[in-house]
Amino acid sequence: MNCKVADIISKARATQHLTKQEIVSLLGDNDINDRLFAAADQVRAENVGEAVHLRGLIEFSNICRQNCFYCGLRRDNAGIRRYRLEPDTILAFAAKAKAYGYKTLVLQSGEDDFYTTDRLQQIISGIKALGLVITLSIGEKSRAEYAAYRQAGADRYLLRIETTDRRLYAALHPGMSWENRRRCLWDLKELGYEVGTGCLVGLPNQSLEALADDILFFQELDADMVGLGPFIPNADTPLRSAQGGSFTASLKVMAITRLLLPDANIPATTAMETLNKNGRIIALQSGANVAMPNVTEGEYRQLYALYPGKICINDTPAHCRGCISGKITSIGRTVAGDFGFRVKRAAAKRV
């Protein structure tokens, strides 16, 4: 083992601070993977405990006005059948999710203009009346819209930066602005949301330096949640022939993020399990403390086609709840019984 790289892991544990080059060194050295993952798991245990927080995911529309090159929901993809759920259906799914024991719901969709501020406020208010915590993942909005959702009761917002490499961002997001993406995240933070972000790992022309910048960006934002996973090429997108990301690289980005943000909530993502049949278990043993089972019902699970090979699309919400709970207990962990807000720890002295 490279002693210098091993020392970097020790430094990260002690200070929650690394330079960009130190992060690149960790990302580029696969001989230290086991030590890195073990360190992230220990930091997870020390800072957020053994309980795994479950967030029930409702995918309520696959219609999107954006045209991101990597996403199966992109506006110009004519290869999928579009859908959107009526507010009453969303509320019915939410009530069932509560009956399954979920404390938090994640409402996720493409950027669908059908859901006006008034409609979303009604949906949020209805779910809050059930006593649930709400995470929104519905893309770029104005500060006024974010404020309206917050006033209606939304607690958290997930908006992945996807990449902090501005050239790469511009190449993959036609008609979009990296600066506006960043503005959205800071607006959300100032409005009092728990803010989640994240990135895709393994995008075409993405360097280790860019991934290091992503991790440092999560720390700059002091993100409450960080969701990341491998880029998986979709045949219905311009990146259909791209190589795609790896499970191991995604796991390494996640583990380093845990070292630098020890008290953040970090999910074991379904995309990881698409590449590795034990992906979520391995992620939970390498720094993750959250899972997001799908509580959408019926054919909609198959129609929310972000990427090919997505797991659990033929399962029921009840089955998903039992499956992930079994996986959690199989590794000696427990399912959390609280709402899972981030509890910030005193930061170590940074050097």
Residues making up the annotated binding site for S-adenosyl-L-methionine are: 162, 181
CA 132 to CA 243: how far, in whole Å? 40
Instruction: Indicate left, alpha or beta for 332 from its phi (over 0: left) and psi (-120 to 50: alpha).
Output: left
Residue type at position 11: K
Which residue, chain included where needed, has tokens 């953040």? 264
CA 17 to CA 306: how far, in whole Å? 34
> Residue 316 is encoded by which pair of tokens?
């029921």
Give the residue from 3, 76, 1 showing the smallest Cα distance to 31.
1
Q: What is the DSSP string of 43-85?
A: HHHHHH-SEEEEEEEEEEE---S---TT-TT-TT--SS---B-
Q: Residue 301 to residues 129, 159, 310: CA-CA distances in angstroms?
A: 25, 21, 9
Provide φ and ψ at 117, rounded to 5°. Answer: -60, -45
Annotated binding-site members for [4Fe-4S] cluster: 64, 68, 71
Q: β-pairing, 290-291 with 225-226? A: unpaired
> Residue 94 is encoded by which pair of tokens?
């939410």
Annotated binding-site members: 64, 68, 71, 137, 162, 181
Vertex 206: Cα angle to 25 and 293 (nearest 5): 95
Annotated binding-site members for (3R)-3-methyl-D-ornithine: 137
